[in-house]
Amino acid sequence: YYLAQHKHIQERLIEEIEDVRKNQSDITYEVVMGLEYLDAVCSEVLRMNPPVQMTYRTCVESTVLGNIAIDKGTFIRIPIFAMQHDEKYFVEPDVFNPDRFLGKNKEGVVPFSFLPFGEGPRQCIGMKFASMSFKLGLFHALSRFSFETCSETEIPPKYHPTILLLLPY
């Protein structure tokens, strides 16, 4: 969807892929996972549309955050989608901009503001596999095709507002 909407981003990504295909005899896991712009595009897609809207944790020891006391055993809801669309953490959060995950910009991402797979010992067990599958699929798709919108493309896409997973209608 985002690549069809932003042709210049799609073209830049295709250039990176074509360059690798010309200069590498073997397209290995390391080659694909090392593509900087592919990583940035995938990260931005996951920022705009995280696999889950929120995650949950239980406080394991009483603590104070700012002026808020949180007791041990308190159930905590972490709004991933809302955080990843908050101007406090991301400039122009509703704009698709993979450059925010490149170089100095990537270093400037506030820790724990980008949580598409959660974080810590309970983060998504399939994170590495999902990341590799996403990148490899996009790599091979853009090696052969380009994405375009059509008359039936909903702009912006609509999502089910009440479920945990972020699914299009």
- pLDDT digit string (tens) for 64-121? 999 999 999 999 999 999 999 999 999 999 999 999 999 999 999 999 999 999 998 8
Overall pTM > 0.75: yes
* Cα–Cα distance for residue pair 80/106, rounded to 1 Å: 18
pLDDT at 157 (0 to 100): 80
* Cα–Cα distance for residue pair 111/115, rounded to 1 Å: 9
Binding residues: 124
Binding residues for heme: 124
What is the domain partition of the chain in residue ranges?
2-52+87-144
Residue 169 has pLDDT above 60, yes or no: no
Across residues 128-133, what is the average pLDDT? 95
pLDDT at 125 (0 to 100): 94
- pLDDT digit string (tens) for 24-55? 889 999 999 999 999 999 999 999 999 888 88
Q: Which residue has the tokens 């041990």?
A: 72
